[in-house]
Amino acid sequence: MKKEFLRKNVWYLSLGVVALAVVTFFGSKLYIENQHQQEISQYLEKNKPVIPAGYEQEIIMHGLFPDEPTFTHVISSADVILEGTVFDVTPAYSDEHGILYHDVVIKPEKFLENTPQLSAKENINVTVLGGGKDKYISWGEDLPAFRKGEKVLVALAQSGSKAGSYYVSYDAYGKFTIEGDRIVGIASDQGLIDTTVADMEKRIKAELANK
């Protein structure tokens, strides 16, 4: 009876199996992508600055990334990757065109990539778009946020206009926070990355080996 059933309906059963496999494959893919996006949104929401008293208006800043902010792109586009501690976060200032920036001064402790041969004895100046100035606060949801004393791993690219200055590669995607032996950050292809520092260093070295 069973054999007869299978013989008669083999085409439909095969179609059913293929359809189920396709639904499962795409469903899983979409589910994972959805999870990653939710994790990234939640991470970036926490990143949003508190508007200090006395500031009247936000200026929202959007931008277009030069490629997908995947873990591979973040690492491969960096000239410098270091672990260190945020020594200072300066007040915002305008450049000659009126574009708002603030600087983050990082005391390096360990270099994983150091193309320009920076010294571990000297602090690194990282320029970040946005900040609060003249009653205005300018920010973008995917800009990296730093706080004084924070231990971080950052992927940095050399600034094209300011000698000795760097910016964070792919903004918030190039900054990871270290707490104890854990490190937390985001990548567009991996969502929230929450792992050990040792594992992160291993992943970065693997990416750099393929650079």
| Residue among 14, 33, 179, 181 that touches another protein (CB under 8 A) | 33
| Residue number, 129 or 200, with CB nearest to another protein | 129
| Cβ neighbours around 44 below 10 Å, total | 17
Q: How far is CA 211 from CA 57, 112, 145, 173, 205, in A?
A: 43, 13, 27, 18, 10
Stretch that binds another protein, among 9-17, 82-90, 104-112, 146-154 (CB under 8 A): 9-17
Contacts (Cβ under 8 Å, ≥6 apart) of 35 = 191
**Per CB under 8 A, 26 contacts another protein:** yes
| Residue among 60, 117, 163, 209 that touches another protein (CB under 8 A) | 60
| Residue among 188, 197, 204, 207 that touches another protein (CB under 8 A) | 188
Quote the least distance from Cβ 97 to another protein, whole Å: 5
| Residue among 68, 109, 179, 199 that touches another protein (CB under 8 A) | 68
**CB burial readout 138-164, b (16+ within 10 A) else e:** bbbebbbbbeeebbbbbbbbeeeeeee
Query: Facing residues of 152 across strands?
Result: 84, 177
Quote the least distance from Cβ 164 to another protein, whole Å: 12
| Residue number, 40 or 197, with CB nearest to another protein | 40
Identity at 34, one-letter amino acid code: N
**CB burial readout 184-201, b (16+ within 10 A) else e:** ebbbbebbbbebebeebb
128 near 154, Cβ under 8 Å? no
Contact pattern from residue 142 through residue 181 relative to another protein, giving x for each residue in contact according to CB under 8 A and a dash for the rest: ---------------x-xxxx--x-xxxxx--x-------
By the criterion CB under 8 A, which residues form the site for another protein?
Answer: 1-2, 5, 8-9, 12, 15, 19, 22-23, 26-27, 29-31, 33-34, 37-38, 40, 57, 59-69, 77, 94-95, 97-101, 127, 129, 136, 138, 140, 157, 159-162, 165, 167-171, 174, 188
